[in-house]
A and B are shown apart, each in its own frame.
Chain A
Amino acid sequence: MAKDMEIVQVVGIGIIATITILAIKTQRPEIALQLGLISGLVIFFMLLGRITSIVAMLNDFAVKSKIDMQYIGLLFKIVGIAYICEFGSEICRDAGENSIASKIELAGKVSIMAMALPVVTALVNFLGGILS
């Protein structure tokens, strides 16, 4: 199977995993949840190569357009935090624990805000300097 048609494998794994989870859900819901978790992980690891090359390409663009590297690094970290938080909160939601999922999302928002704070401060100072 050519590398471009990897999406077919991804969809195939997704469908098979969903059907298996449905078959087990009534009997052993805890195992069904872990099955959902592991199939999500498997699909993510299949995409890993593509994601790495996209990130490298974005890095390249940033270097070429002379943007300060720490801003791009900050952007990537924020995307990373967002992805991990979404992964965790969706797993909790699958298990019916909506409150825990919301707490995880809150933690992600707070972390992102804390990371972006220096940039926001610099921006506000800069604007204050212009206006005064």
Chain B
Amino acid sequence: MGIDLVFRIAAIGILISVLNAVLNKSGREEIAMMTTLAGLIIVLLMIVNEVVNLFDTVKTIFQF
């Protein structure tokens, strides 16, 4: 948690962009799409934890 999580996701995003560009240029477009999807899922998994945390916290604070 904190700013390093933001930077990690940004780094993954940039990595995915670069990989996508390289794979597209070398003609392997389906692999490019798969790496994009994989990166998306990885970031989603990183985020889901925090979102669940958010909802639990809101529940405790606002006395659900």
Q: Is A76 an interface residue (CB 8 A)?
A: yes
A31 touching B63, Cβ below 8 Å: no
- Inter-chain CB contacts under 8 Å: number: 90
Chain A interface category by residue count: 20 to 34
A35 touching B55, Cβ below 8 Å: no
Query: Which A residues are in CB contact (< 8 Å) with B62?
Result: 55, 76-77, 79-80, 83
Question: Complex: how many Å from CA A45 to CA B3?
Answer: 11
Which partner residue on chain B sits nearest A27 by CB separation?
B17
Q: Is the interface of A mostly helix, strand, loop or mixed?
A: helix
A28 touching B17, Cβ below 8 Å: yes
Name 30 A/B residue pairs within 8 A (Cβ), A-sorted: A13-B3, A13-B6, A16-B3, A17-B6, A23-B10, A24-B13, A28-B16, A28-B36, A31-B10, A31-B12, A31-B43, A34-B9, A34-B40, A34-B43, A34-B44, A38-B46, A39-B6, A41-B53, A42-B2, A44-B54, A45-B57, A48-B57, A48-B61, A51-B61, A52-B61, A76-B62, A76-B63, A79-B62, A80-B62, A80-B64
